[in-house]
Chain A
Amino acid sequence: MVKRISYLIVEGPQDIAFVARILKTFAIKVVNKKSSLDPFWNNLIPKTFPVDDDLLKRVPIPAFFESDAHSIAIHAAQGLPRLVKTLEETRAILDFEKISSYGFLLDADDTQTPVQRFNNLLSELQKSPINIPLSANPGEIVGSAPSFGVFILPDNQNPGTLEDILLQAAQVNYSQLFMAAGTFIQSVDKNQLVPKDIVEFNKPSGDKKARVSSISSILKPGRAIQNSIQDNRWLDGEAMNLPVMQSVSVFLQQLLDLK
């Protein structure tokens, strides 16, 4: 069976874990072994270390997911220029004409609407040497071979980030932890901390990120949030029926042709 090959660019490992959790409901599982990976992706596996002369930098490799019908790579990159360059580089190194679908899944952030973020991405794509048909709105899928689309979290309409979805999900599956995390965050006396301590917390989505981290620190102490998204019940059961989850899930089903 010829697999449908898809490529998705996201902003971080938490996004990868989030999409992976949705793919899992379609029996699409992560590939851990190179020997199990569809050879189509071989050219995306770095051959040189260190990358960028940086001994501490994570090796820039996508996460790969496969089922009998699908082979999907999800690549994390940060900042719009780097997101677009990642696509340009991947198109150059792969036989990209064999790709069935590709797209971006980004945060709107709390300072921009999804449409603003989407337009900024389009502007960056138009500046690049990539010449592809672009969708006119977030959530819209254009083309068929390959199809292309952009989803702006949380729901293509409201400002926000992945944390907005996770907190809604936590209200469903971890309501007590959700409440306790809120109480804990509110109880923090910022006057006891120096400004440098709360630089990240004071950012627009700092409060939401802190609450997600607090819940995650109970579910997976000492582990990154993506591990908790992957292994705990954030997105189990009723949480998958939340409108924001349905919105992302339907987009991925349509873009990646998931059945």
Chain B
Amino acid sequence: MQIHLESLSIDSFRGLKNLELDGLSRVNLFVGPNNSGKTSVLEAISTYCRPLDPLEWLNTSRRREAIGGEITPIARLNALRWLFPQTREQHPNDLYHGQVQMQAKGGFAVKSVLAKYQEIRGIPDEDTLKRIQQRMPSREPDLTYQGAELQININAEQKDLSPVGNIQANFVFWESAPFFDRQRRSDPYSLSVRTITPVSHRTERSQIDRFSEATLNRDMENILDLIRLFDPDILGMQILGVGGISLFVDHKKTGLTPLSAFGDGVRRVIMIALTLSNIKEGVLLIDEIETAIHISVLNDVYRWLFDACKKNNIQLFATTHSLEAVDALIKAHPAAYDDLVAYRFGQPGESAKRYGGELLNRLRSERGLDVR
């Protein structure tokens, strides 16, 4: 089964420059020190998988924000800008422009993405102005507004490898103006992609959304198998409207118990399992794959994850700071080294080192070396 991305070349994205990731596999692990670009690569992949979807660009740009933190409309717009390369030469008063460029090989139809961001200032059209004023009635109507144009060009191939050619999409965002996309982006130029951040399992809204999707996919029994690795007494899960909608776990000892009453480990595994269920034939991105899961169950959880990815043709990209996580992924399937690869990122601008599964196993098992 051909994987979606066999290689990825990121010419520019956030602080990443000329990064080549050759020989990608089913399970791809990113290791390296802080600020080496691991999370940026996950963000680059998430936009590459849905390049024509403006909401993916916006969501990706906001994923690093703290949950529940207040954010100004200008900061929201700037978050999108920061997906694009920044330079010291840019004067704060200049209108920023920058571009993101990526190419990939593999089963996914999209072969290259070029996105251009142009900061703009001015007065939006009447409809947009009305929406801004409805949202922010106290704002002076005659002020100029800050906005941004996002122009996206992709090159794609059909399944028979014949070129589709260049496809372009343009979007305009204004500060304070709500943005909505009228087109449902399930075209051949997008892959199902989901990101699990180190805090995703703590947002109940995400859990409820993904539980609903998994229930609609009739995948709950499979998901419960994974959750029972953690706690064999879990019987099932339900959404209940008790003082607001919440996700409840049916537990042999405690009965129906709010998910929020469980520890981070169970919540994290539930989040991973629910997410997997909704991205068959897609891409799963996990930032800090070790988060909240105790070492004693890492092997079992990763084996389940590995199997689920293979069975459902899901390509997994994960970051980690944990040697235990690296070891557990190696041991998850000792006979399937071809399905695992790790990349070690160094300082910004340095190329990433690639460790195929067999070499990774030797470095860890036979040499005891730290690959992070």
Contact = CB atoms under 8 A, between A and B. Distances in A.
B323 A48 contact: yes
Interface stretch (A85-93, A156-164, A183-191, A217-225): A85-93
A131 to B, nearest CB: 14
A89 B353 contact: no
A47 interface: yes
Contacts of B362: 85, 89
A60 B367 contact: yes
Given A92-B355, A92-B359, A44 B366 contact: no
A51 interface: yes
A89 B363 contact: yes
Nearest to B365: A52
B364 interface: yes
A53 B355 CA distance: 21
A62 to B, nearest CB: 11
A48 B362 CA distance: 13
B369 interface: yes
B368 A89 contact: no
B371 interface: yes
Contact of A49 (B355, B363, B368, B369): B368
B366 A93 contact: no
Given A88-B359, A89-B359, A44 B365 contact: no
B369 A43 contact: yes
Chief secondary structure at chain A's binding surface: helix
A44 B367 CA distance: 9
Nearest to A50: B368
Interface string B344-372: 00000000010100010011111111110
A51 B362 CA distance: 10
A204 interface: no
Given A43-B369, A93-B369, A48 B359 contact: no
A47 B369 contact: yes
Nearest to B353: A92
The CB with the most chain B CB atoms within 10 A, among A45, A49, A92, is that of: A92
Contact of B365 (A43, A51, A88): A51
A252 to B, nearest CB: 25
Nearest to B324: A48
A93 B371 contact: yes
A12 interface: no
A109 B157 CA distance: 58
A47 B370 CA distance: 6
A45 B355 CA distance: 18
Interface string A25-62: 00000000000000000011111110111000001100
B291 to A, nearest CB: 21
A46 B365 contact: no
A110 to B, nearest CB: 29
Contacts of A52: 365-366
Contact of A46 (B355, B359, B367): B367
A49 B327 CA distance: 13
B334 to A, nearest CB: 12
Contacts of B369: 43-48, 89, 93
Given A88-B359, A89-B359, A60 B366 contact: yes
A182 B223 CA distance: 74
The CB with the most chain B CB atoms within 10 A, among A47, A49, A60, A85, is that of: A47
Nearest to A48: B368
A43 B370 contact: yes
B25 to A, nearest CB: 16
B370 A51 contact: no
Contacts of B371: 93
A47 B372 CA distance: 11
B367 A51 contact: yes
A92 B356 CA distance: 10
A89 B370 CA distance: 12
Contact of A92 (B363, B365, B366, B368): B363
Interface in A59-110: 59-60, 85, 88-89, 92-93
Closest 4 pairs (CB-CB, A-B): A46-B368, A48-B368, A51-B368, A47-B370
Interface of B: 323, 353, 355, 359, 362-371
21 contacts: A43-B369, A46-B368, A46-B369, A47-B323, A48-B323, A48-B369, A48-B370, A51-B365, A51-B366, A51-B367, A52-B366, A53-B365, A59-B368, A60-B367, A60-B368, A89-B362, A89-B366, A89-B369, A92-B355, A93-B363, A93-B371
